[in-house]
Chain A
């Protein structure tokens, strides 16, 4: 079975290390904050100017001046700090954020990512995504492996305008966890109950299937 949104978030959270400063993109990446493993302390960076993001507020705590990058009302965790957008992106571009998790429309075998527009159809804007992928060493892309019509989103070469070039090394889809190395996807883990044949069929870019592909432990 393909992973649910919560399971994707849970698998992402397994990558968190104690003491990590982490930026989570809108959507599934943000959900990962609900699955932080016990004993792991992380500090969430919100690029609009908050380090140490807490959970959503109670009705009484709602503050219009305190939102996350998805414009949702949030709270601050103990040890939080506030700063301007220029300082926020100095942190990001300067490589001070340990892990970035974000969504995408497409990734390819060269580590390219496309996530901000579909010409003629949809223009979201890149927001902070271009800075995040340019600044972080450690990036995980979360996405569905294929479109609803069964078209692969893991391509030999991206077809949409790029958000970043040669910056993605790890992709988590609803079917598999893959690394990108030497211009190829390498299958590392498969979702429980998903066959290697299905992953091969839905991966358009060159894919290496090592002998030791494991089933995800969720």
Chain B
């Protein structure tokens, strides 16, 4: 066993050390590319008071939404509430603190958090509620607001394929926030559909190097589709 081998034997081991009131950054967009089994493990553990950073909060029944049921999330940082009734209800009633964050700003906050950049200027949100209370600076005649980066005690993410060293390959639009989420986690836990031996992945095809990954586990995925849209065969 190499010191670079990131594979863990169980979901319990994968999420060991997660405690109440920690911050968890999660990859996924809607229900696409979500770390569904790692989320289920957090539900099983019953960890509460969590701050969760993710584009969406799943739906009422799937994804991060299942952590709302027993009120395990104290604060949600997300760009879209959308079709999740429970999320909207807990937000409106004030039970759940929500920091609505523009999608591109959220991605960049994670990217910067993982890249050692404490804050960045963006035009996104200037002159809107998102910009309130934030530093404004003018560059070349345009206004920008200062946004701080995000880091998590844990990152949970899903990739398609990995080697045992945690080198990752994502698949289609299931990539979304996953690479940035992983880089921004102090402990980055990734679940994948397939783990291959070291050397089997072409170094040129690796989307995210294993240096960012701490724990790796192979899971079985339900892959629920939110909006099943089709065209006629002809």
Contacts and interface: CB of A to CB of B under 8 A. Distances in A.
Q: Do A and B bind each other?
A: yes
Interface of A: 46-50, 55-59, 62-68, 70-74, 76, 82-86, 88-89, 92-93, 112, 116-117, 120, 123-131, 134-135, 161-166
Contacts of B180: 84-86
B126 A165 contact: yes
A165 B229 CA distance: 34
A103 to B, nearest CB: 14
A165 B127 contact: yes
Interface in B26-42: 29-33
B171 interface: yes
Contact of B104 (A56, A89, A165, A166): A89
A127 B82 CA distance: 9
A93 B104 CA distance: 8
B230 A57 contact: yes
B78 interface: yes
Given A84-B179, A135-B124, A161 B129 contact: yes
B176 A85 contact: yes
B227 A73 contact: yes
B220 interface: no
B90 to A, nearest CB: 11
Contacts of A73: 225, 227-230
Interface string B84-99: 0000100110000000
B172 interface: yes
Contacts of A46: 173
A123 B88 contact: yes
Interface in B50-91: 55, 78-82, 88, 91
Contacts of B228: 62, 73
A59 B234 CA distance: 11
Given A125-B79, A165-B128, 9 more contacts: A64-B225, A66-B172, A73-B225, A84-B170, A89-B103, A127-B80, A130-B103, A130-B105, A165-B126
Interface residues of B, number: 56
Given A84-B179, A84-B180, A124 B80 contact: yes
A68 B55 CA distance: 14
Given A127-B79, A134-B126, A85 B231 contact: no
Contacts of A47: 103-104
Given A48-B176, A93-B104, A125-B80, A59 B233 contact: yes
Nearest to B193: A65
A71 B172 contact: no
Contacts of A116: 100
A46 B225 CA distance: 17
Contact of B173 (A50, A125, A126, A162): A50
B110 interface: yes
B113 to A, nearest CB: 11
Contacts of A131: 102-105, 124
A72 B175 CA distance: 16
B169 to A, nearest CB: 11
A71 B79 contact: no
Contacts of A84: 107, 170, 175-180
B194 to A, nearest CB: 13
A135 B111 CA distance: 19
B102 A64 contact: no
B125 interface: yes
B226 interface: yes
Contacts of A120: 92
B121 to A, nearest CB: 11
Nearest to A122: B88
Contact of A56 (B32, B128, B230): B230
A83 B102 contact: no
Contacts of B231: 55-58
B130 interface: yes
Contacts of B230: 56-59, 62, 73
Nearest to A131: B104
Q: Which 10 A-B pairs have the closest CB atoms?
A: A89-B104, A165-B127, A131-B104, A64-B223, A130-B102, A125-B80, A85-B107, A128-B103, A71-B30, A65-B174
12 contacts: A47-B104, A65-B173, A67-B30, A70-B227, A71-B32, A72-B229, A117-B100, A123-B81, A126-B80, A127-B79, A128-B104, A130-B128
